[in-house]
A and B are shown apart, each in its own frame.
Chain A
Amino acid sequence: NAGVTQTPKFRVLKTGQSMTLLCAQDMNHEYMYWYRQDPGMGLRLIHYSVGEGTTAKGEVPDGYNVSRLKKQNFLLGLESAAPSQTSVYFCASSSWGAWGSAEAFFGQGTRLTVV
């Protein structure tokens, strides 16, 4: 049981470059999330999805885009990377109510450095 898989695990970008982070889950969860973690700031929600084909903005969405074309995948894109986007990124998935425990399952994180 793979759970939640994030790729890549590490990446160094130059300012202005673009990239896509992939999150894949095999638990048939409806809800998926992208967070960034910076020292002293906990996990801050970037974007989230409540089902296939839906996305919504979280707390810090600027500079990021997302897509959920398939239920099992949630992609996070950086169109023009900036040094302020240097962070550790986490993907998570969960169920809700009668379909599960509401617990979120997390990927292993992606350490992104923008130089």
Chain B
Amino acid sequence: AQTVTQSQPEMSVQEAETVTLSCTYDTSESDYYLFWYKQPPSRQMILVIRQEAYKQQNATENRFSVNFQKAAKSFSLKISDSQLGDAAMYLCAYRSEEKLTFGTGTRLTIIP
């Protein structure tokens, strides 16, 4: 069974600084996707970034980028120039064809 591990229950960062959230996963499959979702207090699930396993290039979306290490099964999220609106729960997710499996989340606090 696939598992996703987020070892940082809580993180904090100074506004305008950079923070990295870690995520590791376990799988024996070769075809899969990885995602980071943001969940603000409204509970809405917002896709932040997506990575296809067959792509070696790390995905980037504006201030958000990932470090995808396929052999190490690691998928960390870097947030640059942190803003107050980035405060939320961040959930790492692994998607095989059938299932979508989440980690336990990292709650990110932005310090003004």
**Residues of chain A having any CB pair with chain B under 8 Å:** 31, 33, 35, 40-45, 48, 50, 56, 58, 88, 90, 92, 94, 96-97, 101-104, 106, 108-109
Contact = CB atoms under 8 A, between A and B. Distances in A.
Interface residues of B, number: 21
Given A42-B104, A48-B99, 15 more contacts: A40-B105, A42-B6, A42-B91, A42-B102, A42-B103, A42-B105, A48-B98, A56-B98, A58-B99, A92-B45, A102-B33, A103-B33, A103-B47, A104-B100, A106-B44
Tell which of B45, B47, B105 has the most Cβ of chain A within 10 Å. B45
A88 to B, nearest CB: 7
Contacts of A42: 6, 91, 102-105
Lowest 6 A-B CB distances belong to which pairs? Answer: A106-B45, A42-B104, A43-B102, A42-B102, A102-B33, A109-B43
